[in-house]
Amino acid sequence: MDQDDTVMETSEENQQSTAQRKRKANEIEDVGDAGSGGEGQDDREDTDGDVSSREGFQEWDVDSFEDGHEFIPNKKIDPNDEEAQKMRRYRIQMYESNGFNVDRENYPGRVAYRELIPVNLDEPFNSGLTGRAYMQNNVDLTLHKYNKINGLSLTCANIVRAVVCRVSGSVKSYITFMARETPDAEDLIEYQAKTEQMPWQKRAHALFCRRTPKPKVIHVPRYEDCVSDSSTDSNASSRGSDQAWEVDSFDDESEYQPQERMCPIEEEVQRMRLYRPKMYPSKGFHVDGETYRGETVFFSQVDLDANFPAIELTGREHMQNLVDLALEKLNNIKGTSVTCESIVRANLTRVNGYKLYITFMARESPEEEPVEYQAKTERKFWQRKYHAMFCRPAPKSKD
């Protein structure tokens, strides 16, 4: 057998071993309610009787950082732009450690991409627990699953550090801890545990447990060797990113089909069944805010007469500024002179930033009657300003 055949056979064995571990993980119950420290009930019972606690797309032994994406910092950054430099240091450390080690010193705040926040283990964190106690509960439930799958007796000696990522009400924990691999072992080995609790789940679920791998090494080229690009200089946080003009993300989605079963509790499922059919026909521009007000809010209506979050403008004033931005781009591209007459309504989504769906009355020329228009704008968390995505006459709604 030649070397290539040996490598191929070893690779196939590793894949089979990984598949077997995942199958076994699916058969094992996740016990322990993170935050309570007590023993929980079988996940199979959760699936049948308590929809809010079952695992949702949380596959065991899968690291989301190992998805084929590689961070290569090869763009020029102004050495005097401290914010951009801090963002680069943050992202390098994040990708080198797969999220398990991010310094507070480098943490760039609310403008961060894939926002990871170091946890102060000795301060209150969640459910009346300190960060250390909360993370200990998460490590315990992960070790229970890991030991049962692998037939081991790994125990946690102490928590070293923890980092969390909060997105839309979910909490993903990256926990580093020292462990004994056998009860009589004298040496402590550094391990990592990763858990996630979605907003509709009553407890966290274990994602993986492993020995801490060697950190990746990300090389940063010399400044003169980097690629010059306006999107990565001092305006890096304001570039358009993937916000292409005249592209409606709803056009890429199929028509809404009610699912047989969804992750939130059944009461919320019923409200969502009323809510989502209204969201899709209007492509997000007209949603009844009273239909669904659960935790997993897809769209929320903007109160035009109240202050918009985090700025000293009313919703109406802020929407007017965004419409002006979209109209400026439309008129420059089309050679038109469309003007805004009044704001009708606006809807907001908060996923990796703010996306606004604004309906307004417009005049296509001074002598014409106002017609209904739509503008869509977005500002990602790491961007300083909003970007116009499209501006158009309001299409006829779907049946």
Give domain status of residue 24, yes or no: no
Average pLDDT over residues 175-203: 92
How would residue 192 be classed by pLDDT, with cut points 50, 70 and 90? very high
Which pair of tokens denotes residue 168? 């839309």
Which pair of tokens denotes residue 21? 């571990």
Give domain status of residue 399, yes or no: no
Domain finish residue from 195, 211, 227: 211
- Does residue 117 sit in the same domain as residue 244? no
Domain finish residue from 211, 228, 259: 211
Q: What is the pLDDT of residue 311?
A: 82
Q: What is the pLDDT of residue 326?
A: 95
* Rounded Cα–Cα distance for residues 359 and 137 (Å): 47
Q: What is the pLDDT of residue 194?
A: 96
Q: What are phi and psi of 91, to 5 degrees?
A: -70, -35
- Tell me the per-residue pLDDT of 158-176, one tens digit each, with 9 for 90 and over: 999 999 988 767 899 999 9
Contacts 24+ apart (CB under 8 A), 13-21: 18/61, 21/60, 21/61, 21/149, 21/150
Please state which of the ranges 75-79, 228-232, 319-323, 377-381 shows the lowest mean pLDDT: 228-232
Average pLDDT over residues 275-293: 66
Q: What is the pLDDT of residue 220?
A: 81
Domain finish residue from 157, 190, 211: 211
Q: What is the pLDDT of residue 11?
A: 42
Give domain status of residue 13, yes or no: no
Supply the mean pLDDT for the chain: 76
270 has pLDDT over 70? no
Q: What is the pLDDT of residue 2?
A: 43
Proportion of the chain above pLDDT 70, given as a percent: 65
CATH code, domain with 105: 3.10.450.10
> 141 by DSSP, 3-state: which?
helix
Q: What is the pLDDT of residue 262?
A: 43
Give domain status of residue 337, yes or no: yes
Average pLDDT over residues 273-289: 69
- Does residue 42 sit in the same domain as residue 130? yes
Q: What is the pLDDT of residue 97?
A: 92
* Rounded Cα–Cα distance for residues 109 and 291 (Å): 34
Residue 371: other Cβ atoms inside 10 A: 13
Count of domains observed in the chain? 2
Q: What is the pLDDT of residue 24?
A: 53
Which pair of tokens denotes residue 73? 């910092």
Q: What is the pLDDT of residue 308?
A: 87
Residues linked to residue 376 through DSSP beta bridges, in sequence order: 357, 390
Q: What is the pLDDT of residue 21?
A: 53
- Does residue 46 sit in the same domain as residue 185? yes
Average pLDDT over residues 380-390: 84
Q: What is the pLDDT of residue 286?
A: 77
- Tell me the per-residue pLDDT of 357-366, one tens digit each, with 9 for 90 and over: 999 999 999 8
Please, is 104 exposed, middle or buried when counting C-beta atoms within 10 Å of its C-beta (0-12, 13-18, 19+)?
Answer: exposed
CB-based contact 223:79 (threshold 8 Å): yes
CB-based contact 160:177 (threshold 8 Å): yes
Q: Which structural domain, as residue segments, surrounds residue 266?
A: 240-393
Give domain status of residue 11, yes or no: no
- Tell me the per-residue pLDDT of 225-245, one tens digit each, with 9 for 90 and over: 777 644 433 334 444 555 677
Rg of the chain over CA atoms, in angstroms?
25
123 has pLDDT over 50? yes
Give domain status of residue 274, yes or no: yes
- Does residue 130 sit in the same domain as residue 252? no
Q: What is the pLDDT of residue 133?
A: 96
How would residue 78 be classed by pLDDT, with cut points 50, 70 and 90? confident
- Does residue 35 sit in the same domain as residue 160? yes
Residues linked to residue 340 through DSSP beta bridges, in sequence order: 362
Q: Which of 185, 176, 188, 186 is nearest to 212 (CA)?
A: 176
- Does residue 278 sit in the same domain as residue 374? yes
- Does residue 54 sit in the same domain as residue 121? yes
Q: What is the pLDDT of residue 315?
A: 93
Of residues 293 and 167, more confidence is placed in 167
Highest mean pLDDT among 108-112, 285-289, 322-326: 322-326
Q: What is the pLDDT of residue 195?
A: 96
- Does residue 271 sit in the same domain as residue 195? no
Q: What are phi and psi of 380, to 5 degrees?
A: -70, 160
Q: How open is the CA angle 262-266-269, to the nearest 5 degrees?
A: 55
* Rounded Cα–Cα distance for residues 28 and 44 (Å): 9
Give domain status of residue 235, yes or no: no
- Does residue 207 sit in the same domain as residue 245? no
- Does residue 120 sit in the same domain as residue 266? no
Q: What is the pLDDT of residue 30?
A: 41
- Does residue 170 sit in the same domain as residue 272? no
- Does residue 342 sit in the same domain as residue 247? yes
- Strand 353-363 and strand 371-380: pairing? antiparallel
352 has pLDDT over 90? no
Give domain status of residue 230, yes or no: no
309 has pLDDT over 70? yes
153 has pLDDT over 90? yes
